[in-house]
Amino acid sequence: MTAIKFKVKKGDKVIVRTGRDKGKTGTVLKVLKEESALIVEGVNMVTKHVKPTQFSAGGLEQKESKIHVSNVALMDPKSDQPTKVGIKIQKDGSKVRIAKKSGEVI
């Protein structure tokens, strides 16, 4: 499976479009390019059993699991609505990401 080019980056605010967490928003913590997935803060929470160690008591731990990139959409910085991402080339030749709904630079 080939890795696709993501338009969502670490630190972006996204909204979940499908699944059990539909409608939840969060910040992208990690991008997993090989799996075409993201880890989003507070989304797709799973319970892990952790063994006790010398430093921690162990028990049940809640943590974020990966979510496929096609199931999330970037939030428009102006209106906080889901939007598509476009690429615009500025006059100096640099590329910037823009929100399609408002035209705002991300």
CA terminus-to-terminus distance, the chain: 29
Question: How many CA atoms lie less than 13 Å away from 87 in the CB half-sphere?
Answer: 8
Proportion of the chain above pLDDT 90, given as a percent: 70
Proportion of the chain above pLDDT 70, given as a percent: 97
Handedness of CA 44, 47, 51, 52 (dihedral sign): positive
**Residues, the chain:** 106
- Residue type for position 64: E
Q: Is the pLDDT of residue 1 over 70?
A: no
Phi, psi of 70 (to 5 degrees): -75, -15
Q: Where are the domains of the chain?
A: 1-75, 78-106
pLDDT in tens, 50-93: 999 999 898 999 999 999 999 999 998 888 899 999 999 999 99
1-75 fold: SH3 type barrels. (2.30.30)
